[in-house]
């Protein structure tokens, strides 16, 4: 399997952690792929992912899977024991809902990165950036009240990637001061090998 990746992407990190946790990482070859606005590998869009997003997973028979959620669900099905996503019941819907919130926080943080790092200063829209920060802070408060039951579920993995990306791209934001339960949760989750091996700050 070939995973189209860019090292700083929290969505790629999510898939890498999932593969490590499931014992499947050895079967994956990492392919560095450029997707930043203005620097996109156009051939990638034409031959792999029409949306020009990473990650995408090319299987040995040529099938391409995307996006990061679909890839994680596929890897979970390969491993065969529902370690990432519970098969049924409340546990399943809790993990999928937590995944959606953490994933949305990552999307907001990546949009802020593009808006502040790539967009020329005179074209930036501070009100729109503030809206993304509100989503991130409301999400942090939501998780502070409702910690994931499992660090290594898809919810726990995605939340750790969202928090790690905040630390990586916005080290000046002191979220730990306002969300202390979440900070303790993140300290504990970060001890796992799959998390520390992929830490963008490490």
**Which residues here bind ligand BEZ, judged by CB under 6 A?**
6, 8-9, 110, 113, 169
Nearer to ligand BEZ, 67 or 94 (CB): 67
Nearer to ligand BEZ, 79 or 110 (CB): 110
Nearer to ligand BEZ, 82 or 169 (CB): 169
Least gap, CB of 147 to ligand BEZ (angstroms): 25
Least gap, CB of 142 to ligand BEZ (angstroms): 23
Least gap, CB of 161 to ligand BEZ (angstroms): 11
HEC string for the chain? CEEEECCCCHHHHHHHHHHHHHCCHHHCEEEECCCCCCCCCHHHHHHCCCCCCCCEEECCCCCEECCHHHHHHHHHHHHCCCCCCCCCHHHHHHHHHHHHHHHHHHHHHHHHHHHHHHCCHHHCCHHHHHHHHHHHHHHHHHHHHCCCCCCCCHHHHHHHHHHHHHHHHCCCCCHHHHCHHHHHHHHHHCCCHHHHHCCCCC
Nearer to ligand BEZ, 1 or 110 (CB): 110
Least gap, CB of 133 to ligand BEZ (angstroms): 16
């Amino acid at each position: 399997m070939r995973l189209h990746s860019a090292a700083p992407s929290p969505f790629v990190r999510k898939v890498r952690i999932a593969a490590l946790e499931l014992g499947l990482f050895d079967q994956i070859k990492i392919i560095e792929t450029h997707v930043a606005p203005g620097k996109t590998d156009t051939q990638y869009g034409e031959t792999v992912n029409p949306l020009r997003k990473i990650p995408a997973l090319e299987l040995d028979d040529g099938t391409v899977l995307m996006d990061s959620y679909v890839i994680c669900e596929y890897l979970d099905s390969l491993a065969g024991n529902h370690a990432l996503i519970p098969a049924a019941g409340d546990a399943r819907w809790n993990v999928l809902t937590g995944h959606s919130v953490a994933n949305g926080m990552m999307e907001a943080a990546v949009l802020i990165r593009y808006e502040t790092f790539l967009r020329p200063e005179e074209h930036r829209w501070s009100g729109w950036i503030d809206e993304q920060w509100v989503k991130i802070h409301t999400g942090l408060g939501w998780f502070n009240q409702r910690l994931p039951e499992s660090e290594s579920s898809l919810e726990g993995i995605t939340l750790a990637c969202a928090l790690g990306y905040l630390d990586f791209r916005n080290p000046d934001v002191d979220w730990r001061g306002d969300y202390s339960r979440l900070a303790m949760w993140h300290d504990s989750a970060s001890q796992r090998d799959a998390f520390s091996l992929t830490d963008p700050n490490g």
